[in-house]
Structure 1
Amino acid sequence: MSDRRKPEAADDLRRRLDRLTLSRQEGFRRMAEAPPRPRPEPLTRRQLKALSDAARIEYDRLRRKWHANLGPLETPQMAALHEDLWDIVNSNDQDGDKVKGAIALDAFPGLGKTTAVLSFAKKFHRQRIVEEGEFTDEGWDRMPVCRVGLTANTGMRDFNRGILEFYAHPGRFRGTAADFGYRALDCVLSSGAELVIVDDLHFLKFRDRNGAEISNHFKYIANEFPVTLLLIGVGLAKRGLFDEGEDFEDAAIAQTGRRTTRLGMEPFTVDTEKGRRDWRDLLLAIEQRVVLAGKTPGMIADELSDYLFARSTGHIGSLMTVINRGCQKAVRTGAERLDEELLNTVKNDAASERARRELEAAFASGRRTSRPRKRAA
C-alpha cells in the first residue's frame, strides 16, 4: 500500500519524519506531504501561570518544536530562486530524446540554499502529483523528486548507490558501478522522477579521479535520464564545475559546465533602502511567528534590528539560529521575550561572531543602520 494512503495523524507523521532522513523516499514523501505544523496558541503571562503543571509542560513542548521549525520564510532571495527554478524545470519538460539542462546552486554557507531547494521540491512534488496522479501508468507510486546527499570521496558507484538507497532498491548492496547505474535508471523511470537533487556537491574534487567520474556520470544522466539535475554546493565555480577545460581530460567537465545554469543566493544587506526594507520585512515575519507570552509589537523588528543584523551578518541561517536558541532560552527561563541581554547569552556560529564586533561598532556610531529611513526617522 502507498505510504500516503495510510490513515496517519499529522502528529504521528511528523514524529516519524524526525526519524527519517531525506535520503530515503519515505522520508522525502512525508516531508513533502506533511500538513503545516499548527502554531501554538499565544498565551499571556497570566494565562501561563494558570496552566497546570502537565498542561504547561505540554505547551512548552509544543513551543519548543514550533520555534525549532519556524521556517521556511518566503524571503526575496527564496522567491527569486524559485522563479528561476520553475522557469528551468518547466522548460525541461521536453520529449525524452532531448538533453535537459542542469542547474547548479552555488552560494556561501548559511544562506538557506538547502532550505530553499527543499521548499521548491515540496511544491514541485505536490504539483506533479496533482497533474499526473499518485501512480505511474505501470501502477508504481509516483515520486517526482529524488534527493542524493554526497560525502567526501564519493565515486560513481557510491553516487549510483545513493540513488538506489533513496528508493530502497534490493540490489543496492552488490554490483559494479555500471550495474548500479542501470538499476538507478530503472528506479527513476519506474517512479516517474523528473527532478534529481544532489546536495553537498562541494565534497567532490572535480580535478581528481572521483570528480571526473562523477562529472562524466552527470553527462550520462543528462543524456539518458528524463530528469533535471539540481546540484547544490559551495564554491562550485572555484572547484572547476563550470570550467571550459583545456585538454581532453577536461572535456567532460567543460560539457557539464555548458549544460549547467548557475544560480546563486545572496545575504541580506542594509546598504540600500530596499535592502533595509527587505531586512525589516524578514524580522516582521519572524516576530509574527514567535510564540512568547511577553512578546510586544516591534520586539524583534524595531528593538533588535541592528543587533540581529550584527549577530547574523545578514545570513539567514545564522539569524534563525539566534532566534531559535533565544526563544528556547526565553521559554526555559521564564523571560518570555527576546532582548539584547538574553540574546547575549546565546551562542552563534563562529563566522558570524568574528564579524559581529565591527558591525556593532558601526551601528553604535550611527555610521550604519539596518532600519528603513522612514522607520529610523
Structure 2
Amino acid sequence: MSNGSMPVTSSTYVSFLPGPPLDRTRWEGWQRWGSTRGHFVPAPVLTARQYTDLTPRQRRFHDLHRLATHSSLPVQSTPMSDAVAWTVQARIEDGAFSHKAGTRTGVMVNGGGAQGKTETVCEAAASFEEEWLDLNNHVNPDAMPGTRDLVAPVAYVRCPVKATPISTCQRILDFYGEDHKGMRLEDLVRTVNTAIVEHATKALVIDDITRLKLHREADQDVLDLIREMMSMPVTLILVGVGIPLSGLLRDGRRDPVTKQWLFPPVKDRGRSPNADAATQHERRFELVDLDPFSYDSPDQVAAWVSHLRAVEGSLRLLNDTEGMLSTGTMPEYLFDRTNGVVGLLEKLIQRGCRLAIQDGTERLTPHALNQCAVSPTDLPDLDPDSGEQPTIPPVKKTSKRKTKGRNTVFDDDGPLTEPAV
C-alpha cells in the first residue's frame, strides 16, 4: 500500500523512467524542458511495515523509484535565489514590454559553482516565456512573410570550454537551428541579430560567460561582441563564476551592507578601449550575486535549517524523515560538509540515501554520511579551469579506536596511608 491507501503495482513505477535526454541549448530541448519541468512523480511514501508487505519484485521497483527520487530532488528556492530570480524576471519584463528602441538593461548573475545559478535563471526565464506566449496566443505577432514559424521568447546557450567570440555566436545560432558554416565573426554577429528579431526572442541567456578568456589578442573582440549584443532588441542575462574579476567589468568591490558591487571611476590617464568598454558594461548590466548559505548569525542559521526541512520532505526513506536533517547536530554537520553550497548538499544527500537504502538503516546520520565523499566527478558540467568547481570540504572522520593507555609504572601515587585501626 502507498500512503496507506493506494495499492502498489508495477505500473506505479513507470513514471520514474527517464525519457530522451534534454538539451536546453536547443530550441526543441528548451521547449520540452519548460513544458515538463515539475512533472516528475516521486516515489510514494511507505512505512517499514508497508514496504515489508510488498513482494520482492515490488520492493525492488520501489527502491529504484526512491533512487530516482533522490537523484531528482526538486530545486528548493532560497532567500538568495529568490532575490536573483526577481531581478532576472524584472529585467526581462522591463525590456520585453518596453516600447522604446533603446538598449535593454541586462543582468550579470555571479556566484560560485554548484550554487544554483543556472536553475534559478532558467526557471525565471521559463516563467516569463509561459506568460509571454499566453499573451500572444503562442505566435509571433510581428512575424514577417517568409520567415520561419519558430517563436522563441527565450534562448539559452552555454559558452563552450575555452570559448571565443566566434564559437559563442555559433552556439547561439545552434539554438535556433540556423546554418553558420563558413561564416566570419562579422557575419555571425549579423546573423545572430537577425535570428533574435525573426524568432521574437526577448531574453538571451548566456551561461558560463566567464569561459570567454580575455587574452591580449582576443580581449577586444570579446568586449566588442558583448557591446554588439547589448545593442540588439533583447535582454542579455549573463551567468558566470567570478565575473567581477573576469575582465568583463573593471575590478570593483562589494559593499558589505548593500551587497552591491561598486566600481571606481575610470582614470583618464592611460585609459584603454577595453577599459572604456568595460565601463559601458557596468552602466548597462546589473550585477547580482547568488551566494551560498551562511552560518554566522541566528537568522542565517534559521534559513539553513528551513532549507534542510524542505529537503527532508523530498526524501523517501522508510524511517520518518521529519527532523532527520534539521535537528540536533545535523545542520552544523551538513554545513561543514558543504559550506552551505546547495549543489554539494544535494550530491551528499543523494549518496547518503543510496547507502541508507542499501544497508537497510534507512536513516541519514553523521556516521553514515562520513562514508560518502563528494568529488569533482559528481559535477561534470563544471569546468575546473574556469573556476567553476566549488571547494569541497574534506570528510572529517572521527576514529572509534580507544586511545592507548598511558604507562603508569613510574607514577608516584604519594605516601602510603596507614590502615584505619
Provide TM-score, normalisation by structure 1.
0.85
1:233 aligns with 2:240: yes
Alpha-carbon displacement from aligned partner over 1:179-219 (angstroms, at most 9, x marks no partner): 22232222222221111111111212235333321221121
Matched with 1:255 is: 280
Q: How far, CA to CA, are the matches of 1:135 and 1:12 in structure 2?
A: 33
Range 236-245 or range 226-235, more displaced: 236-245
Matched with 1:338 is: 364
Q: How far, CA to CA, are the matches of 2:216 and 2:56 in structure 1?
A: 60
Matched with 2:198 is: 190
Matched with 2:177 is: 168
Q: What is the CA-CA distance between 1:50 and the residue it aligns to?
A: 2.2
Q: How far, CA to CA, are the matches of 1:164 and 1:296 in structure 2?
A: 47
Contact 1:42/1:291, CA 8 A, preserved across alignment: yes
Q: Equivalent residues in 2 for 1:89-168 (5 A)?
A: 89-93=92-96, 94-95=98-99, 97-137=101-141, 138=143, 140-168=149-177
Q: Equivalent residues in 2 for 1:261-272 (5 A)?
A: 261-272=286-297
Contact 2:22/2:32, CA 8 A, preserved across alignment: no
Which residue of 218, 221, 224 maps to 1:216? Answer: 224
Range 138-147 or range 38-47, more displaced: 138-147
Q: Secondary structure at the match of 1:103?
A: strand
Q: How far, CA to CA, are the matches of 1:32 and 1:14 in structure 2?
A: 16
Counterpart of 2:94 in structure 1: which amino acid? S
Q: How far, CA to CA, are the matches of 2:76 and 2:317 in structure 1?
A: 19
Matched with 2:4 is: none
Matched with 2:381 is: none
Q: How far, CA to CA, are the matches of 1:142 and 1:122 in structure 2?
A: 14
Structure 2 gap segments, 5+ residues each: 1-13, 251-265, 377-390, 399-421
Alpha-carbon displacement from aligned partner over 1:160-187 (angstroms, at most 9, x marks no partner): 1101111112x13332222222322222
Provide TM-score, normalisation by structure 2.
0.76
Matched with 1:72 is: 75
Counterpart of 2:194 in structure 1: which amino acid? D
Range 325-334 or range 75-84, more displaced: 325-334
Q: How far, CA to CA, are the matches of 1:199 and 1:291 in structure 2?
A: 33
Q: Secondary structure at the match of 1:147?
A: strand
Counterpart of 2:133 in structure 1: which amino acid? I
Matched with 1:200 is: 208
Q: Secondary structure at the match of 2:313?
A: helix
Contact 2:209/2:240, CA 8 A, preserved across alignment: yes
Range 175-184 or range 298-307, more displaced: 175-184
Q: How far, CA to CA, are the matches of 2:333 and 2:194 in structure 1?
A: 52
Computing the radius of gyration from Cα coordinates, the structure with the larger value is 2
Q: What is the CA-CA distance between 1:296 and the residue it aligns to?
A: 3.8
Q: How far, CA to CA, are the matches of 1:206 and 1:161 in structure 2?
A: 19
- Which aligned runs of 4 or more in structure 1 are off by greater than 4 angstroms? 10-14
Change (3 A) 1:310 1:97: same
Q: How far, CA to CA, are the matches of 1:158 and 1:180 in structure 2?
A: 10
Contact 2:313/2:321, CA 8 A, preserved across alignment: no
1:84 aligns with 2:87: yes
Contact 1:242/1:258, CA 8 A, preserved across alignment: no
Contact 2:105/2:286, CA 8 A, preserved across alignment: yes
Residue correspondences, number = 345
Contact 2:16/2:42, CA 8 A, preserved across alignment: no
Query: % of aligned pairs identical?
Result: 23
Contact 1:295/1:336, CA 8 A, preserved across alignment: no
Contact 1:318/1:349, CA 8 A, preserved across alignment: no
Q: How far, CA to CA, are the matches of 1:121 and 1:203 in structure 2?
A: 22
Q: How far, CA to CA, are the matches of 1:83 and 1:20 in structure 2?
A: 26
Structure 1 gap segments, 5+ residues each: 1-9, 361-377
Matched with 1:371 is: none
Q: Secondary structure at the match of 1:255?
A: helix
